[in-house]
């Protein structure tokens, strides 16, 4: 099993604050799971928002506009 603190660090992109890193391993695991679920939900919501906004763009231009917006 991976170190829960290192998994959380990977999700956050930096080391968690000492007060968070001091939490029990099972709590860190739950926190990492909740962060992962929240990011998935955010990705789904963002994709839905982009698709909704693109409905206002004429069909022949949607692919180009989406590429410009998302890179």
Check whether 6 has a pLDDT greater than 60: yes
pLDDT in tens, 22-69: 999 999 999 999 999 999 999 999 989 988 989 999 999 988 988 888
Tally of domains in the chain: 1
Check whether 2 has a pLDDT greater than 80: no
**Model pTM above 0.75:** no
Domain that holds residue 60: 4-70
Check whether 12 has a pLDDT greater than 60: yes
Cβ proximity of 71 and 60 under 8 Å: no
Give the whole-angstrom CA distance, residue 46 versus residue 28: 27
Give the whole-angstrom CA distance, residue 68 versus residue 51: 14
């Amino acid at each position: 099993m991976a170190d829960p603190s290192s998994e959380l660090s990977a999700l956050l992109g930096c080391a968690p604050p000492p007060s968070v890193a001091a939490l029990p391993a099972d709590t860190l695991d739950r926190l990492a799971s909740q962060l992962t679920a929240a990011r998935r939900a955010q990705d789904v919501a963002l994709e839905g928002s982009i698709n909704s906004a693109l409905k206002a763009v004429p069909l022949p231009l949607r692919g180009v506009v989406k590429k410009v917006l998302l890179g």
